[in-house]
């Protein structure tokens, strides 16, 4: 394969995505703010760039997967950012969960440099990605999507085009609010059953065999029995997504009462010193309010 791919943001998800691109045979240039975290990818064949600008100067397609609006601006806008080195005709595949307005402005800046931006957040977790089951929702020019499709398919098999740039971010935010609200409902169900006398582990077993067991609940529900040391999706990150949802709701006149409540309970989790844990730790807030023991921390 002759195409060169760039990847900026090599964290828990981005690093795994980059590895799949390497495994597919693509030449890969990567950048991560903490270079040591990319060491395994370098050993696997990735070239580590000194800056996002260097990535853009070398790549035909660039993927970005960063934390938030501020991080996206930091890797794209400064003199050593992606835009400074942008190659005409290149495609930016922006996968972060960020504000639709921010990605819209970035798309305009890329277009001014004769490039194209695809707004392409994902649905799934590191486990989903490792299993080859990650799905993309994509906003942007359909022709650009067809050019980028082989690279996307190297990462995940399901690609759904939802419309112009910005709509995929909106859809992703809508998806993610459901994760947090579902987890709160699961936590309440476990607490109620336990308070009635059902063993906690047995309550989790029954719920995971019931009609409420969504894919997310199936892999995160057991965390109320033992919280992993390394979070799949920590409290700060899910709260960032819930704030994006609440901002969208205020702008469009949509009522999100369950999102507001879940956000406040996650703030309580931070008050209990639990910010570093997966957001399933909202169970500890419910347990604390219900005079039940917290989750075990593995």
**H or E, element range at 236:** helix 235-252
Question: Measured between alpha carbons, how far is residue 263 from residues 139, 152, 193, 223, 243 in Å?
Answer: 27, 32, 24, 19, 8
Give buried/exposed letters for 26-60 (b at 16+ CB in 10 A, else e).
bbbbbbbbeeeebeebeeeebebbebbbbbbbbbb
> Helix 167-196 crosses helix 282-289 at what angle (to 10 degrees)?
40
Is the sign of the CA dihedral 222, 268, 97, 25 positive or negative? negative
* Alpha-carbon gap, residue 260 to 262, rounded angstroms: 6
Please enumerate in sequence order all residues whose Cβ is within 8 A of that of 91, keeping only pairs 6 or more positions apart, or say none: 60, 61, 62, 115, 116, 117, 118, 144, 147, 148
- 240 counts as catalytic: no
Question: Measured between alpha carbons, how far is residue 129 from residues 22, 65, 126, 158, 179 in Å?
Answer: 14, 14, 5, 11, 17
Given 37, 169, 172, 296, which residue is catalytic? 172
- Residues belonging to the active site: 172
């Amino acid at each position: 394969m002759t195409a060169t791919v760039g990847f900026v943001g090599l964290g828990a998800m981005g690093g795994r995505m980059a590895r799949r691109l390497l495994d597919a045979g693509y030449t890969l240039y990567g950048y991560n703010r903490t270079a040591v975290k990319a060491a395994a990818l370098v050993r696997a064949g990735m070239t580590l760039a000194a800056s996002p600008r260097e990535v853009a100067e070398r790549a035909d397609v660039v993927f970005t997967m960063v934390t938030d609006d501020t991080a996206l601006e930091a890797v794209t806008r400064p003199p050593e950012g992606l835009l400074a080195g942008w190659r005409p005709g290149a495609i930016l595949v922006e996968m972060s969960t960020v504000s639709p307005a921010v990605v819209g402005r970035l798309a305009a800046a890329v277009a001014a440099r004769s490039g194209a931006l695809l707004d392409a957040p994902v649905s799934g977790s590191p486990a989903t990605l490792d299993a080859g089951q990650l799905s993309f929702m994509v906003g942007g020019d359909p022709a650009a999507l067809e050019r980028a499709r082989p690279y996307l398919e190297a990462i995940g098999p399901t690609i759904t085009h939802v419309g112009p740039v910005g709509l995929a971010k909106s859809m992703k935010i809508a998806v993610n609010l459901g994760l947090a609200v579902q987890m709160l409902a699961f936590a309440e169900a476990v607490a109620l059953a336990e308070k009635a006398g059902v063993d906690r582990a047995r309550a989790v077993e029954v719920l995971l065999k019931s009609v409420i067991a969504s894919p997310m609940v199936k892999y995160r529900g057991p965390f109320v029995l033992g919280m992993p040391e390394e979070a799949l999706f920590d409290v700060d990150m899910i709260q960032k997504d819930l704030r994006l949802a609440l901002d969208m709701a205020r702008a469009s006149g949509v009522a999100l009462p369950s999102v507001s409540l879940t956000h406040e309970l996650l703030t309580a989790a931070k008050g209990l010193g639990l910010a570093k844990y997966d957001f399933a730790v909202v169970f500890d807030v419910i347990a604390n309010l219900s005079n039940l023991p917290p989750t075990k921390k593995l």
